[in-house]
Amino acid sequence: MPITFDSALGIHQKTLAFRAQRAEILASNIANEDTPGYKARDIDFKSALAAVEAESVNSLTRTNSKHIQINTSENNAEILYRVPNQSSLDGNTVDGQMEKSAFADNALRYEASITFLDRKFKGLIAALKGE
């Protein structure tokens, strides 16, 4: 059985993609903190990852070249609007402190995923070298 990146890395490559997408969204929220009418957005990381896991379990395998290829692998999670804790007069729903906290938490988890994948690659390299 050949080793592929999907089988070796599992869901961790999708985790990085979702973390990067979430970082972009949170950075956009922080940048638009003072923009009137701007609606804060975010993704539900757990549901996005659960959807990817369910897709990998239910994925179809093409056994013939004449079969229709279905490409359901999407790196983008559903972007949702955040419900504000306190309404503002200008319609902006961004809470700067909450966004900065969420951004820091996401950055920390992104770094942890990078560290995990780094160790995974080092293990694969060691296995290939026979160490």
Residue 130 zone, left/alpha/beta (φ > 0; ψ -120 to 50; rest) = left
Q: What pLDDT is recorded for position 73?
A: 47
Which pLDDT tens digits describe the chain residue by residue (131 residues)? 566 666 667 788 888 889 999 999 999 999 999 999 999 999 998 888 888 777 665 555 666 666 655 444 455 678 899 888 887 889 999 999 999 999 999 999 999 999 998 998 898 889 889 87
Residues 6+ apart with CB under 8 A from 121: none
Residue 91 zone, left/alpha/beta (φ > 0; ψ -120 to 50; rest) = left
Q: What pLDDT is recorded for position 36?
A: 94
Task: Answer whether 38's CB lies under 8 Å from 32's CB.
Answer: yes
Q: What pLDDT is recorded for position 33?
A: 93
